[in-house]
Structure 1
Amino acid sequence: MNIRTLETFVWIARLGSFRAAASRVYASQPSVSARIAGLEDQLGVELFNRSGKKIALTAKGREFLIYAEKMLSLYGEMLQTVAKPASIQGTIRLAVSETIAHTWLPQLIERVSEAYPAINLELDVDISINLAEKLKNHEIDIAFLMGSVNQPGIINRGLCRYSLIWVASPRLGIPDKPMSLVELATWPIVTYPRKSEPYVAIRSLVDPMNHSTRIHSSSSLSTIIRMTVDGLGVSALPREILHRELDSGVLREFDVDAAVPDLVFSAAYRAAPGGDVVHAIAELAFITVANRIGAMPKLSGTLNKL
């Protein structure tokens, strides 16, 4: 019985699948099966009921899970307290929205590499709706996403916010004076994907003025910017991702007589055993954001151990 075996057991219990757990612990399925078989032989009990379509814990398996999670939690706490950060190994699945990838993600990766040189980051860039589902399904360890993830056991902490500005290609000839909502509704709008907060907010602004307003949505921020530069519509985007386009003049800012709510991002991760490194990465993200805006957030004690 060792930490790797306990970790494998816990992931099978969480995911309900030997195959999914094998992917999560970076091992082959036969290796995972062998670990659990050896563990069951050592304990002299069956930990999983394999008769159904989905693997389920037996009564003894549920009892063992309590102790396994405690041991993993204590193991993680021990490493954070005693071991040098450089000696802590593993892979963290970090997922971010594209807005974060376009702003401060490179600085965060640099900080994580300095603090935990033996930790590998597996990066996933996706829309926030998908990131929330991946976190719920244990496919990722931590997400920096728009909004929050509402599920028991998941910690949500406010991270940063970006105000949106209206931009358009100069070729559209947008007037310099502030634009009314009635006028805005006559222009095609390029924005974030359906069901996202910006899409819903913009739709609620223009629909009362003109139900026939064309709204082109995309899950790719790069595509939204490209379509706006090409003059296919106007868009509301964070200034922080448009410095190159605004400085070069391929996009210009204009005013609208109504504000679109800020994009509010949070760090979401599970309060799971052995999650000290994940929590520390969230803290490093707060520092990275604070350095960009010139204000230091209040940090918890985990980071002090780095």
Structure 2
Amino acid sequence: MDLKQLSTFYRVTTHMSFTKAATELRYAQSSVTAQIKGLEAALGSELFERLGGKIRLTPFGERLVPYAERILALVDEARCSLAEQAEPSGTLTVAAVESVISYRMSGLLEFFHHRYPRLQLVVQAATSEDARESVRKGVQDLGFLVEVETRHDGLETRVLGPQHLVAVVAPGHPLHRTSPVLTSDLRAFPVLVPGTDCSYRASLQDELRRGAEEPVSVLEFGNIESVKQGIAAGVGVGVLPEAAVAGSVRDGRLSVLDWQPSFEVSAQIVWRQGRQLTREARIFVDLVTQTAGVDDESLAATSS
């Protein structure tokens, strides 16, 4: 049994696609097919069934998956242990939600570039659900989430701390001088929210609808930046992460209301349960943990 063939097999199982596995591994699809056939020949049994344009695991292939996971994890552990004295290197992939990428990752990327020049940090945008799933399947090394829930099936979670949510309006809005602002006050105006990938949207909608006698006007307004523009234009009220509106509040385009949500969301790092973190992944997790309360600009300045 060849490790390269086993690794290719595992990548095919995570995507259930020869084409996607070839793209991720940067192989020709014919090479992936050849490696799977070689592994099948070595094991004496077929691993996949071809059904039209799709594939599925055979019973033999299904039994092989947990062994492949354990073997590849052990190889990673050995490689990590033997390379402890070397400079961190290679590629670390992180799936992150929009608010993290837009308002948190630039400082981390710059810090890593200066501190660990041989370690390539690859950050890919994803919804919380997609980030969790890609980490479970081993497609991404880590997930950087902002969610209400802090326990996830099949994942280890490190909670970094609360991600403060604030209600914001344009200066001059009728609620601008109101103190305190109640949730019932927000209902009197259109409430702008990011798209369905917003991890706290369901909790916010539940809070707005609780006790409401009439339907609440909730407007889906694309991503966080488009919500901010809509609020600044006077379209309505928005509830967004504090870090996402800090710049607009400083320059006077938005004002923060004296309102507190009844729920809390947390910034979190997740990785696949049962899989030992590589040294490079531990470095990232530890750095993010240590700098959880440091803003992006300060972190970037530190790296310089």
TM-score range, shorter chain: 0.7 to 0.9
In the TM superposition, 1:250-269 aligns within 5 A as 250-256=253-259, 259-269=261-271
Shift of 1:25: 1.9
Structure 1 segment 1-306 matched on structure 2, within 5 A: 2-41=2-41, 43=42, 45-52=44-51, 53-57=54-58, 59=60, 61=61, 65=65, 67-83=67-83, 84-86=85-87, 88-90=89-91, 92-113=92-113, 117-136=117-136, 139-147=139-147, 148=149, 152-178=153-179, 179-194=181-196, 196=198, 198-207=200-209, 208-256=211-259, 259-271=261-273, 275-276=277-278, 277-289=280-292, 291=294
- State the Cα distance separating 1:134 from its structure 2 match: 4.3
* C-alpha separation in 2, matches of 1:88 and 1:29: 28
What do you get for the CA RMSD once the two structures are aligned? Answer: 3.2
**Could you tell me how far 1:8 is from its partner in structure 2?**
1.0
1:187–1:214 contact (8 Å) kept in structure 2: yes
Counterpart CA distance in 2 for 1:129 and 1:44 is: 35
Which of 77-86 and 219-228 deviates more? 77-86
- Over 3 Å counting, the alpha-carbon distance change for 1:165 and 1:251 in structure 2 is same
| Secondary structure in 2 matching 1:165 | strand
Cα contact 2:173–2:234 (8 A) shared by 1: yes
Question: SS in structure 1 opposite 2:55?
Answer: coil
Q: Is the 8 A contact 1:73 1:274 kept in 2?
A: yes
C-alpha displacement of 1:280: 4.4
Deviation for aligned residue 1:113: 3.9
Give unmatched runs, 5+ long, in structure 2.
297-304
TM-score by length of 1: 0.78
Contact 1:163 1:262 in 2 (8 A): yes
User: Could you list the per-position Cα deviations for residues 203-246 of structure 1 after superposition, in whole angstroms to 9, with x for gaps in the alignment?
Assistant: 33333235243221234111111111111111222322222211
Q: Distance in 1 between matches of 2:23 and 2:127?
A: 23
1:89-109 superposed Cα distances (whole Å, 9 cap, x missing partner)? 24x432111221233212322
SS in 1 for 2:219: strand
Moved more, 98-107 or 46-55: 46-55
CA contact (8 A) 1:86 1:117 kept: no
- 1:169 shift after superposition: 0.6
Q: Any idea what the Cα deviations from partners look like across 1:172-224, whole Å, max 9, x if unmatched?
A: 24352313443322112112335855433333333323524322123411111
For 1:67 and 1:213, how far apart are their aligned partners in 2?
A: 51
Q: Which amino acid aligns with 1:101?
A: I
Q: 1:87: how far off?
A: 6.3
Mark the CA change 1:54 to 1:4 in structure 2 (over 3 Å): closer, same or farther: same
Tell me, in whole angstroms, the C-alpha distance in 1 between the residues paired with 2:239 and 2:101.
18
Which structure 1 residue ranges, 5 or more long, are not aligned?
294-306
Contact 1:10–1:69 (CA under 8 A) maintained in structure 2? yes
Percent identity of equivalent pairs? 19
Aligned counterpart, 1:298:
none
